[in-house]
A and B are shown apart, each in its own frame.
Chain A
Amino acid sequence: MRILLAPSSAMPLYEQIKDQVRAAVYGGGLNAGDMLPSLRRLAADLRVSIMTVTRAYNDLAAEGLVRNEQGRGFVVRPVDSDRAKKALEERLRAALRDFVGAARAARLTRSEAAGLLDTEWDTP
């Protein structure tokens, strides 16, 4: 799994980390039993403080997505399919909000925006 951070984003860094781990777990990039990257290695690689990654991982554990195994690290738990579906829908809705916002800012009509969506949908 690759995690990329946007330091200038309004979203806090630990939220960005959570988001990407969630996307990997629900999107199938990480499977049950897989290990998350070592917390301290990830902090060094992403150039964030250890506490930032600790906070993200602990939050993910509290959500039930991963569990902290003493001495081993954070392990991905089996995905609850209802929750995975909800999470994917929520991601899609967030992306749509961005899309609609950008379309409105560009003063597109609804059908023009839908046309863009169709084109994108058909692009392999």
Chain B
Amino acid sequence: MGYAVNEKTSATPLALRAEGLTVRAGDFLLDAVDVEVPTGYVVGMVGPNGAGKTTTIKAILGMVGRSSGFVELFGEPASRQAARNAQIGVVLDRPFFSPDWRVASVGTRVGRFYPTWDADRFAGLLREFRLPARTSVGALSRGQGMRLSFAVALCHDPRLLILDEPTGGLDPVARAELVEGLREFMVDENHSVLFSTHITSDLDGLADFIQVLDGGHSTYRGTLDDLHAQFALVQGVGDPGRDALRAVLGLRRARDRFEGMIRVADSHLFGRDAELSAATTDDIVVHLVRAGHDNEKGL
């Protein structure tokens, strides 16, 4: 399923285009996943644990070998080690700095690899993020480690930020700070963000596009607005009929009640006893994933 293209977005140049990313790792297969990040927009990648989000990001960055597929950054084929590209800021699950470096020294150690490194900004962000300058990286909490990675990613002035589960394990305050940081980054129209999360509420009010991954497949790509316009929750009592039931995604029945999600276009199949309601982003992702699993089980 491609983006619901309108003229505006189809004309937008892409900061990132990945096509047919395929990675085999033991039993896991990332199966021909396409990813697009239009310049000036935020793409949120969601899906349950094990869906392939981290593998997709690592494949984009050239950190795992892919058996097929290609990656373009800013309209040019990406080198094998895209992660070293100064135009990309990367925040991974764990900081990739040595655990015995002191926090303040990370700037000088990492900054020298980037011609655009802004040492003053780094010092400022350490204060803003309340990071203990003399503590060693290995002694930082999960939230502090993430903020340190985020500070480093911002300070070489990238055009594209790629973040893997940046909010995972953060307390609400740290999470809000990170989201605010991303919003500020996006005020510049040349900036773009790709981030993964299993907390779908992270997307609301931030992501322009959503991509759902499940079991190594990409199951939905589109704007968040379209996603909300397309689906609704349904619940009711009794038997709404075969056609109606077949239209329900992630159908669950308990005694004589039924519930699930439908495409708004299918709402005419349901009588007045069925109650339709707006679905949150979380509802939609849960039901899309559930529907995929039901299909696999042949339900």
Q: Which residues of A contact B (CB under 8 A)?
A: 7, 13, 38, 40-41, 43-44, 47-52, 54-55, 58
The chain B residue sitting closest to A55, CB to CB, is: B225
* Contact (Cβ within 8 A) A50 B42: yes
B188 adjacent to A40 (CB under 8 Å)? yes
Q: How far is the CB of A14 from chain B (nearest CB, A)?
A: 8
Partner of A51, one of B183, B187, B189, B223: B223
Identify the stretch in B78-86, B144-152, B205-213, B232-240 within 8 Å (CB) of chain A at 4 or more residues. B205-213
Beta-carbon contact of B207 and A49 below 8 Å:
yes
Q: Give the distance to chain B from A45, nearest Cβ to Cβ, in Å.
A: 9
Asked if B187 contacts A44 (CB within 8 A), the reply is yes
- Interfacial chain B residues near A55, Cβ < 8 Å: 225
Q: Which of A13, A40, A54 contacts B187 (CB 8 A)?
A: A40
Structural contact, A40 and B186, CB atoms closer than 8 A: yes
The distance in angstroms between the C-alpha atoms of A47 and B187, with both chains bound, is: 12
The CA-CA distance from A54 to B187 in the complex, in Å, is: 13
Q: Mark B48-86, 1 if CB is under 8 A from A, else 0.
A: 000000000000000000000000000000000000000
Bound-state Cα–Cα, A63 to B183, Å: 28
* Interface core residue of B8, B40, B187, B206 (most chain A CB under 10 Å): B187
B191: shortest Cβ distance to chain A, in Å? 9
Whether, in the assembled complex, B30 has its beta carbon less than 8 Å from a beta carbon of chain A, the answer is no
Question: SS class of chain A's interface: helix, strand, loop or mixed?
Answer: helix
Residue contact B188 to A51, C-beta cutoff 8 Å = no
**Within the assembled complex, what's the spacing in Å between the Cα atoms of A44 and B182?**
9
Closest Cβ of chain A to B179, distance in Å, is 8
Measured between alpha carbons, how far is A44 from B184 in the docked complex, in Å? 6
Residue B41 interfacial (CB < 8 Å): yes
Q: How far is the CA of A41 from the CA of B207 in the complex (A)?
A: 15
CB-CB < 8 A to B205: which residues of A? 7, 13, 47-49, 52
Distance to closest chain B CB from A40 (angstroms): 5
CA separation between A121 and B184, bound complex, in Å?
Answer: 44
The interface residues of chain B lying within 8 Å CB-to-CB of A52 are 205, 225
Report how far A40 CA is from B205 CA in the complex, Å.
Answer: 13
Q: Are A49 and B206 in contact (CB under 8 A)?
A: yes
Complex contacts, A58 vs chain B, CB 8 Å: 8
Name A42's closest neighbour in chain B (CB-CB): B187
Closest-CB distance, A43 to chain B (whole angstroms): 7
24 A–B contacts from the bound complex (CB under 8 Å) = A7-B205, A38-B187, A40-B187, A40-B189, A41-B187, A43-B183, A43-B186, A44-B183, A47-B183, A47-B205, A47-B206, A48-B205, A49-B206, A49-B207, A49-B224, A50-B40, A50-B42, A50-B208, A51-B224, A51-B225, A52-B205, A52-B225, A54-B8, A55-B225
Contact B186 A50 (CB under 8 A): yes
Interfacial chain B residues near A13, Cβ < 8 Å:
205
CB nearest to A54 among chain B residues:
B8
B46 smallest CB distance to A (angstroms): 15
Q: Is the CB of B41 within 8 A of A51?
A: yes
B residues less than 8 Å from A48 (CB atoms): 205
Q: Closest B-chain residue to A38, C-beta based? A: B187
16 new A-B contacts at CB < 8 Å, known A7-B205, A13-B205, A51-B224: A38-B187, A40-B189, A44-B183, A44-B186, A44-B187, A48-B205, A49-B205, A49-B206, A49-B208, A50-B40, A50-B41, A50-B42, A50-B186, A50-B208, A51-B208, A55-B225
Residues of B contacting A51 in the complex (Cβ-Cβ under 8 angstroms): 41, 208, 223-225
Instruction: Give the chain A neighbours of B207 by CB distance below 8 A.
Output: 49
Rank and list the top 8 A-B pairs by shortest CB-CB distance, nearest first: A51-B208, A44-B183, A40-B187, A49-B208, A47-B205, A48-B205, A44-B187, A50-B208
Name B164-209 residues within 8 Å CB distance of A.
183-184, 186-189, 205-208
Distance in angstroms from A23 CB to nearest chain B CB is 22
Interface residues of B in 1-20 (CB under 8 A from A): 8
